[in-house]
Amino acid sequence: MWETLGWALGMVLIFEGLMPLISPGQWRAVFSRLLQFNDGQLRFVGLLSVGSGLLTLLWLA
C-alpha cells in the first residue's frame, strides 16, 4: 500500500510541475485569475477536483 501511495504522490508532483516548467507565464496568469475567485468559487473548483479524482480511481479499480 505504501509503495502505491508513493507512486501516486510522485505522479501528482510530476503533473503539478509540468505547467510551471513548460509555460511559467501562463501558469502565473492562471494563478492570478484564481486569486480573484471568492471562497465559494474556490471550494467548487476543489469539489470538482476531488470528484474527478474519485471518479478516476473508481474507474481504474
pLDDT tens track for 20-32: 999 999 999 998 9
* pLDDT value for 4: 87
- What is the pLDDT confidence band of residue 1, given thresholds at 50, 70 and 90? confident
Give the integer Cα–Cα distance in Å for 21 and 28. Answer: 11
| Residue listed under C-alpha cell 502565473 | 28
* pLDDT value for 10: 92
- pTM tops 0.95: no
- The set of cell numbers assigned to 26 is 501562463
